A and B are shown apart, each in its own frame.
Chain A
Amino acid sequence: MPATATGLIERAQLTLEALHRTSNPVTGEQWASFDQTVYRLLHELVRTRTGWQPADPQALALYRAYRDYPRPLQPADDRADFSLRETANLLGLTDSIIRKRVLNGTMLAASTDAGYRIPRSELALGQEPRPASSTDSPPLARLACELGVLTDLLVTNRMEPSLPELEADSAAWIGRETLALTEGAARRTLALCEPEMGDRPLTIARYAARARNVFTASVPPRGVQDPAIAPSDAYASAGAAELSSSIHRWARAAQQELRAQVPSVEVLRDINRQGIHMYAAVDSILECAALEKDALAPVHDRLRESAQALQDGAGAWTQTTTGMPPSHDYVDAARRLYATLAQITTSSGAPTDPGVAYQALLRGAHEVAWLMTLVTPQAPRLLQSEVLFIHARHGRSDTRRLQAVNNGRMTVAGAKDVPDLTRFGWAAERLATSMARAMPSATAAPERGASIYLAAEL
């Protein structure tokens, strides 16, 4: 299975236990790497936030945890300049001292509408701590590596437009767990390091204990709110992992195809059809779950409605072509996805782990919704570029086309030849998006093969 944010936190907790068991000394380099990694992670959590209200105590706690981080060793990003406050924090001074330095000319700064901006070169920061590597064996280095992977995972998910943004509660949970790990690691480091380097772990231990107590209790993120590393072919195996890998590979191939100047019409239609097949798989999984029929009915109806909209969207392209065949990569990925989904939708066998398969399909539904936003604009683009063709006999009747009709030729399609193309495309996009959002993000399978519980209102 692909690594998830909660999985990485669990792994980090085990590594912290290993740190408690070891008696090997912690070096300054190991500590600096861990210290900077924690700061970067908090920065990313604040950056990826969404849906935060000004009065949200969780959001405020996370922001303060980031803002009050004691004199970071290095900035968390590679910006060229900083505000007065950021500079003061990075140099361990007060805002007023920095302002005085700027005003008396001892510190270079640019005056902007948003206040002074101090160039990075003025900060005279030390050497960037070496990031921990996956080959490092000391527990603190491994811990830094795991939190570093978690940060990279959050960055990757933030930049992936098909995935929903991290909600405040999910970010707060990750932040709180990170601070708990930080406090534990700092306390243990105090016992393992040379006395002269003990000040920094002590400061961080105090800070982490104070900052994490501000968070209120929250539950671990689940479903699409639990960021996951995209599975590679190495994960390909039977069952839910294969499904997850197939969906990911197909979505990448579809995106690649949609980047083509003139894409294959059959791929545009196939994206809709794969979406329908995924809905059918969701329906099958929910059907297998021991849910009350009354609870299933609205889910089933909505899946069917969205499937019909995607079907209409695909049908609107009928008899048109750009003359481009689908790429080999797309065909391979689509065929593999078909085979995997068919194992669920036919009676040949329900997945052994329906909860995990459902999560993969949930991600798939978000991928479909994102891809639909790329498919819809293709219709006006292809029509405008006059690269969409239609069998003359299927287009609008026009005396100038009689010869083409009689000879069974194709002609350039105009908007009147495919009057439903744009309308059905928009409807498909809208319903695919609302379906992905409406699907329960939190499902739970209390026991292997047991029921799936719907945790959101459809």
Chain B
Amino acid sequence: MSSHAQLQDAAAQLRCAATLAEKRGVGNPMDPWAAIAGTIRLIAAGLDPMATSAPSPLNDVHQHLAAALVSLDDVSADDAPSDFMFWRAHVVDLEANAQALESSTASTNGGDS
């Protein structure tokens, strides 16, 4: 796969992650999952502004974020755009943000039960 296709794939994975995150927000725009979905879409647009999408068998936000990172890591250093590391660093951060949100949601749910 070409570097361009790898970037498109990473962006598509991020958009899938955003869609799943929105679903976890259960239609409430003020839910923290809706907020992270927005920031995931922003990074996806940086990797591929043309909004490509790809069907994916994965059904978990974290899996999609991890898959996006895998796609990025397959980009050849020679073909990578000059700001590649900028976007990759943000995807790594997104993964950390999603993990933190997961823990926070889990502790809130645990506290409620």
Contacts and interface: CB of A to CB of B under 8 A. Distances in A.
Given A277-B35, A325-B46, A331-B43, A391 B30 contact: no
A308 interface: yes
A269 B100 contact: no
Contacts of B49: 264-266, 321-325
Interface stretch (A136-144, A157-165, A335-343): A335-343
A307 B51 contact: no
Contact of A328 (B29, B83, B107): B83
B46 A346 contact: no
Interface of B: 29-32, 34-36, 38-39, 41-47, 49-51, 83, 86, 90, 93, 97, 100-101, 104-105, 107-108, 111
A326 interface: yes
B38 A283 contact: no
B11 to A, nearest CB: 10
24 contacts: A264-B45, A269-B38, A277-B38, A279-B30, A280-B31, A280-B32, A311-B29, A311-B34, A319-B51, A320-B51, A321-B49, A328-B86, A334-B42, A339-B97, A341-B35, A342-B32, A342-B36, A342-B97, A342-B100, A346-B100, A346-B105, A347-B104, A347-B108, A347-B111
Interface of A: 264-267, 269-270, 273-274, 276-277, 279-280, 283, 303-304, 307-308, 310-311, 314, 319-326, 328, 331, 334-335, 338-339, 341-342, 345-348, 389, 391, 410
A391 B90 contact: no
Given A303-B30, A342-B97, A273 B45 contact: no
Q: Name which of B29, B41, B44, B47 has the most chain A CB atoms within 10 A of its CB.
A: B29
A319 B19 CA distance: 13
A324 B108 CA distance: 39
Contacts of B44: 266
Contacts of A410: 50
Given A270-B39, A331-B86, 5 more contacts: A303-B30, A304-B29, A319-B51, A325-B45, A342-B97
Given A279-B30, A346-B101, A326 B35 contact: no
Contacts of B111: 347
Contact of B38 (A264, A265, A273): A273
Q: Name which of A267, A277, A328 has the most chain B CB atoms within 10 A of its CB.
A: A277
Q: Name which of B32, B39, B42, B86 has the most chain A CB atoms within 10 A of its CB.
A: B42
Contacts of A331: 42-43, 46, 86, 90
